[in-house]
Amino acid sequence: MGKKLYVGSLSWGTTDQGLRDAFSQAGEVVSAQVIMDRMSGRSKGFGFVEMATQEEADAAIQMWNGKDLDGRAIVVNEARPMEERPPRQDRGGSRGGAGGRW
């Protein structure tokens, strides 16, 4: 099974393919994805790369952590499972922006 890496501090212009091309220098890339904001369609500045083996993942961390990609020094480390977050609290009222006044 592959090893997933977190890649942070990405340039707004970095694409899935750019991430794949860069990390393929360290070994076989199973998947590469820049996370996009659903509302704006713009990059959130981070992504994930899955390498085929632990050794290739380690090589990618050594090769890219703190190094320049598309004009930004990126952060690369092993991805951790997403922590469970508490459910969102409903603030009450409508979302009309009237501040509760009619």
Per-residue pLDDT tens over the stretch 44-82: 999 999 999 999 999 999 999 999 999 999 999 999 988
**Dihedrals φ, ψ of 64, to 5°?**
-110, -25
Is the pLDDT at 8 greater than 80? The verdict is: yes
**What is the per-residue pLDDT for 68?**
98
The domains found in the chain, sorted by start residue, are: 3-78 (3.30.70.330)
**What is the per-residue pLDDT for 2?**
86
Is the pLDDT at 96 greater than 70? The verdict is: no
Per-residue pLDDT tens over the stretch 14-40: 999 999 999 999 999 999 999 999 999
pTM assigned to the model: 0.81
